Amino acid sequence: MKYKVLVDFTDKETKHIYYKNDKYPFKGRAKKARIEELLSDENLRNKPLIEVVEDES
């Protein structure tokens, strides 16, 4: 699955800075729990920071 950044943030685990519309993660794979945290409001910002990108196939 592909993800897009909704708002600028610095990842607390990798210290990578993400900007709106960047892809997440910037390289490799992220842990499922971390993705779920960023998709929900259960993070330090209390709002979703990424969203699923639907394939246009």
pTM: 0.89
What's the confidence (pLDDT) of residue 57?
58
What's the confidence (pLDDT) of residue 56?
64
Residue 33 half-sphere exposure toward CB, CA atoms < 13 A: 1
What's the confidence (pLDDT) of residue 54?
87
pLDDT tens digits for range 12-37: 989 999 999 999 999 989 999 999 99
Q: Residue 45 and residue 28: Cα distance in Å, rounded?
A: 24
DSSP 2-49: EEEESS-EE-TTT--EE-TT-EESSSS---HHHHHHHHSS-STTSS--
Exposed/middle/buried for 49, CB within 10 Å: 0-12, 13-18, 19+? buried
